[in-house]
Structure 1
Amino acid sequence: MIKGFELRRIAMPLVSPFRTSFGVELDRDVLLVRAVTDTAEGWGECVAMSAPLYSSEYVAGAAEVIKRFLIPALAGVPDADPRRTEAPFAKIKGHPMAKAAVQTALLDAWLREHGLPLAAHLGAERDRVPAGVSVGIMDSIPQLLAAVEGYLAEGYLRIKLKIEPGWDVAPVRAVRERFGDILLQVDANTAYTLADARHLAKLDPFDLLLIEQPLPEDDVRGHAELARQVRTPICLDESITSARAAADAIALGATSVVNIKPGRVGGYLEARRVHDVCAANGIGVWVGGMLETGIGRAANVALAALPGCVLPGDTSASDRYFRRDVTDPFVLDGGHLAVPTGPGIGVTPDPDALREVTTATEWIHV
């Protein structure tokens, strides 16, 4: 039986500012959710940003939705089986990141109770996953080249460059010319429109793995048209909000590869369905990142071990973002991260590290 939830806000300074087309992150205001049952407890992480820039969700709003709507919706649910959250949560429109945080905490608790690792529960087939790194927009190309050189020296197997109008062809050319035949892709975070198709086609000569979410998230038909005008494979991120959305995008020819972010689709159960829809249609997937702590990273690494995840994801080591994580750090080994093998998500927060960064806690009884 579910006893209640602890909502914990933590402040995680980033090693360096992370700039994208929707803003600059200097630190992470993170909402953690701890689910407590009669027999176990589990953790989930809300990946919403501090402001509604990447999506309509933001940290303070997610906390309010969890307190006022999601936790009360679980009253009467007989146990922590995360599948039992889907029907009551479906009545509450939107807020997938808030839902994912609560569902993941319950999933972690339920799996710990049964002694099962998340990776095995999802159907993972690997014990380690290749790691890529996402490189934010820089002040200059020399600064970008120095950053990429450092990440390659650390062993990252794939480089993703954030791009926006005015910062696209020139930095991509510079990285390709400097580092040769590395695995390279770009992420636009919806910064372009279909009118930019001819300009985006200038990226074709650089043999990129993909261009991620170049157009607005609701412009699926525009992505399908863009895919006919450029050679670089189109990858959808923000547009993929569910397995049904993935199926529709694939049917329209809007994407040939999909970035799965569990927080964006409402949790790891739906993320597995997105994976399965893509696999059934011959569409490769990879796991994106939202600057997660070790709690969210552990679950993402488990998802990235599924057979349909054919490209390195944004599953960077902990020290890419944080000097000290709230869990034992994820460490790069030969360009890979080990998949946690313990029950649940396979990691637990370090009490001292957690205490150091906590800004607020609240207990809500079910």
Structure 2
Amino acid sequence: MRISQVELRDISLPLVTPFRTSLGSQDHRDALLVKVTTDDGVVGWGECAADSEPDYSPEYIDGARDVLRRHLIPAIAREGEVSAAAVGDVLSWVRGHQMAKSALEAAILDAELRTTGMSLAEAFGARRTELAVGVSVGIKDSIDDLVESVAGYLDDGYARIKLKIEPGWDYAPVEAVRGVFGDALALQVDANTAYGPGDVRYLSGLDRFGLVLIEQPFAPDDLATHAELASRMDTPICLDESITSARDAATAVRQGACTIVNIKPGRVGGYFEARRIHDLCLASGIPVWCGGMLETGIGRAANLALAALPGFTLPGDISASARHFATDITRPFELLDGVIALPTGPGIGVEPDAARLDEVTTAVELVETAA
């Protein structure tokens, strides 16, 4: 397949409520969309998971746009004919920039599958048509606000609650939620690297709350402290920011740093690498789940297809569109009877609404790739 043009589109969507983690607070989701057009006029879409600031990872939107324009898109153009499965190898000479690579790969994959009429879930070999999903609950101003939010999400039908934690907001919110909603609630916590090696003993006390897992308490490169905490806790340790490739996942599991992996396609460089991590973990008996990055319907659709693979045995953070956006840029994904249905159309199965896309667009850049 030959790509004739790539569009880089910046958008900004207001969130229905601010989303606060240990890394900061967001009231908008600024995103970079990648649209490819083939010589045959077929269009594919991808979404870059990077944030505006390099806080969750070293990547950020302006940097992703720059490396796409200057290096990644020209590398694809030099290839002429390129398949989605080959994109990772073609771009491997560029170190890092996983989220930018993932967005370009996803757009090419979407276009390729639309050409064949096959859905992404079908192409990956998924058999499920709907998924139970969880929801991530940010840090609140008070325990009462938190309990009210959790109650609302449970009423909506979410299968699992994840609480964001940080020093000073950990034991009290977990104890409150567990006390109000009982031991049957599937409850997990996510620290987003907010703790240090000196907190191992402190965090091990979370064992008493019967959590599904504790996610990424320490720095991404600190596998040793994660392994130490794992040796002191019955609660499973899950890694997120530490996992940027299948090799990272294999190393973390081998060193005892985790027994669960959160797979985010953007963080690991694309959906093919995400599937490799899934396959590795499935063969090793390591449960995986699909994390979220406040994606629009474009990224959400692709994540649903990935999360339908058999190794994704824990509910992911692929919540309904209304969790974050009053009006998404695609048709909304809805939580009905506790599940979200996978798109069944070709490619990712959804397309942006042109009028809504124009409303939220802040910049557009076209990059010609035809010789």
Deviation at residue 79 of structure 1 after TM alignment = 2.9
Tell me if 1:115 matches 2:142.
no
Unaligned runs of at least 5 residues, structure 2: none
State which of 42, 45, 50 in structure 2 corresponds to 1:43: 45
Which of 122, 131, 134 lines up with 2:133 in the alignment?
131
How far apart are residue 140 of structure 1 and its match?
Answer: 0.7
In structure 2, distance between residues paired with 1:124 and 1:287 = 14
How far the C-alpha of 1:288 sits from its partner, in A, is 0.1
Matches of 2:87 and 2:169, distance apart in 1:
43
1:308 paired residue number: 311
Q: Is the 8 Å Cα contact of residues 187 and 211 (structure 2) preserved in structure 1?
A: yes
Deviation at 1:80, TM superposition (A): 4.4
Distance 1:313 1:326 in 2: 21
Equivalent in 273, 293, 297 of residue 294 of structure 1: 297
Aligned residue pair count:
366
Match of 1:10 in 2: 11
Q: Distance in 1 between matches of 2:355 and 2:144?
A: 39
Instruction: State yes or no: 1:262 paired with 2:265.
Output: yes
Q: How many Å apart are 1:61 and its aligned residue?
A: 0.9
Query: Secondary structure at the residue paired with 2:78?
Result: coil
Distance in 1 (alpha carbons) for counterparts of 2:352 and 2:271? 20
User: Are the aligned partners of 1:287 and 1:313 in contact in 2 as well (CA < 8 Å)?
Assistant: yes
Write the distance in 1 (CA, Å) between the matches of 2:365 and 2:197.
Answer: 46
Which amino acid in 2 is paired with 1:5? V
The answer to whether the Cα contact below 8 Å between 1:77 and 1:84 also exists between their aligned partners in 2 is: no
Q: Distance in 2 between matches of 1:272 and 1:121?
A: 11
The equivalent residue for 1:200 is: 203
Native 8 Å contact 1:119 1:303 kept in 2: yes
Deviations 1:25-80 (A, max 9, x none): 11011100001102311000001001011011111111011001100111232334
Supply the distance in 2 between the matched residues of 1:193 and 1:22 (Cα, whole angstroms). 15
1:147-158 aligned at under 5 Å gives the runs 147-158=149-160
Counterpart of 2:276 (choices 257, 273, 277) is: 273
- Note if 1:70 corresponds to 2:64: no
Quote how far apart the aligned CAs of 1:81 are: 1.4
Structure 2 residue matching 1:258: 3-state secondary structure: strand
SS at match of 1:138: coil
Q: Partner residue of 2:168?
A: 166
Asked if the contact 2:204–2:229 (Cα under 8 Å) also holds between the matched residues in 1, the reply is no
Kept in 2, the 8 Å contact 1:194–1:222? The answer is: yes
Counterpart residue identity of residue 322, structure 1: F
Tell me the distance in 1 between the aligned counterparts of 2:118 and 2:90: 25
In the superposition, the TM-score normalised over structure 2's length comes to 0.97
Contact 1:137 1:162 (C-alpha < 8 Å) held by counterparts:
yes
User: Counterpart of 2:320 in structure 1: which amino acid?
Assistant: A
Q: Which amino acid aligns with 2:164?
A: K
The 2-side partners of 1:156 and 1:2 are apart by: 40
- Which residue identity lines up with residue 353 of structure 2 in the other structure? D
**Number of the residue aligned with 2:98:** 96
- Unpaired segments of 5 or more residues in structure 1? none
Letter in 1 for 2:301: A
Runs of 4+ in 1 over 6 A off after TM superposition: none
Shift of 1:88: 2.3
Tell me the percent identity.
59
**Native 8 Å contact 2:88 2:101 kept in 1:** no
CA contact (8 A) 2:296 2:321 kept: yes
CA deviation after TM superposition for structure 1 residue 122, in Å: 1.2
TM-score (norm 1): 0.99
